[in-house]
Amino acid sequence: MGHVIFIGAGPGAADLITLRGARLLATADVVLFDALTDPGLRQFAPNARWVNVGKRGFADSTGQATINALLIKNANEADVVVRLKGGDPSVFGRLEEELEALAQAGIACEVVPGVTAAIAAAAATQRPLTRRGAGRSVSLATAMTREGSVHASRSADTEVFYMAGRQLAALSRRLLAAGWPGDTPASVVSRAGWPDQLHSDHSLTQLAQASVLHAGRPMVVVVGAGAKPLDDAPAALTDTRHAALQKSKP
């Protein structure tokens, strides 16, 4: 019997995986990977068998029970099985269900953390999620429950919502009802961590306007202290500028 390694692939481009994650991925015999993981990650385990177990939102293309069964089956047949998850496995990655399934089957496993989308969004916009004196707490939440209802609150200085999708108008209404002022800053980043990431700024009352720009793209919505632009912030270093600077180094 083999063992399973859960690896956080990061939120976008392949080079956002951690060094430990890349090293352990290279040991894999089988890789069960998520829909939003970068195909470039295959370079780290070119001889492994890669199995797509991706899902998008609540409409599973691969059901959770099927993924659990595949983990157990492959761990009984191979030495090292990697479960490659987008972002960080423990943040909205259904890690608990898979850990429980492996524990019940008596299969050893370990978890390698990764960069979650909220952190990538903060980096892309140069908006720290915590601010000294103004942003002492951060809440991570999904915008919509499995039952289809939108939940929002005012429980932290910075509220971050995953999987907002088409729910921006409803999310805005819920946040206003929870006591957030209408002029509260809201930052929306779609495909955070990818070269084609997009960012837009809104007041809470105008949050629904972001639906058109970010339509059909995985997005993170940051509300409150962590969405406020820094005073006199320098321009973000784009991939093109970064590459140019690298070439100019002696």
Buried-state track 75-101, b at ≥16 Cβ within 10 A, e below 16: beebebbbbbbbbbbbbbbebeebbeb
How is residue 238 written in tokens? Answer: 């784009």
CA 223 to each of CA 4, 33, 211: distance values in angstroms, whole numbers, following the listed order: 37, 31, 16
Phi (first) and psi of residue 178, to 5 degrees:
-80, -5
Who contacts 72 (Cβ-Cβ below 8 Å, separation ≥6)?
Answer: 101, 102, 105, 107
Which residue, among 53, 70, 62, has the nearest Cα to 4 in the 3D structure?
Answer: 70
Contact predicate 184/170, CB 8 Å: no
How is residue 88 written in tokens? Answer: 């960080």
**Active site positions, annotated:** 34, 55, 163
